[in-house]
Amino acid sequence: MEWTSEALVLGSRPHGEGSVILEVMTGERGRHLGLVKGGRSRRVAPILQPGNTVQLTWRARLDAHLGMFTAELVTGRAARLMETAAGVYGVQVLTALLRYLPERDPHPALFEAATIAADHLADPIDAGRLLVRFELAVLDDLGFGLDLTACAATGAITDLVYVSPKSARAVSAAAGAPYRDKLLPLPRFLAPGGEAEVPTPADLLAAFRLTGYFLDRHVATPRGEPLTPARAQFLEHLKAAGG
Task: Write out pLDDT tens, residues 71-112.
Answer: 999 999 999 999 999 999 999 999 999 999 999 999 999 999
Task: Write out pLDDT tens, residues 37-78.
Answer: 999 999 999 999 999 999 999 999 999 999 999 999 999 999
DSSP strand E in 16-159: where? 19-26, 30-36, 53-59, 68-75
Q: Give the pLDDT of residue 29.
A: 96
Separation CA 110–CA 94 (nearest Å)? 11
Provide the whole-model pTM: 0.95
CA–centroid distance for 82 within its chain: 18
Strands 30-36 and 53-59: unpaired
Q: Given a cut of 80, is residue 118 above it in pLDDT?
A: yes
- Sequence-distant (≥ 6) Cβ neighbours of residue 239 within 8 angstroms: 201, 205
Task: Count other C-beta atoms under 10 Å from residue 226's C-beta.
Answer: 11
Q: In which band, very low, low, confident or very high, does the pLDDT at 194 lie, cut at 50, 70 and 90?
A: confident
Q: Give the pLDDT of residue 197.
A: 86
Q: Give the pLDDT of residue 241.
A: 81
Q: Give the pLDDT of residue 73.
A: 98
Question: Domain 2-76 falls in which CATH fold?
Answer: OB fold (Dihydrolipoamide Acetyltransferase, E2P) (2.40.50)
Q: Given a cut of 80, is residue 242 above it in pLDDT?
A: no
Residues of the chain with CATH 2.40.50.140: 2-76
Q: In which band, very low, low, confident or very high, does the pLDDT at 243 lie, cut at 50, 70 and 90?
A: low
Identify the CA nearest to 47 among candidates 80, 29, 82, 74.
74
Q: Give the pLDDT of residue 196.
A: 83
Mean confidence (pLDDT) of the chain: 96
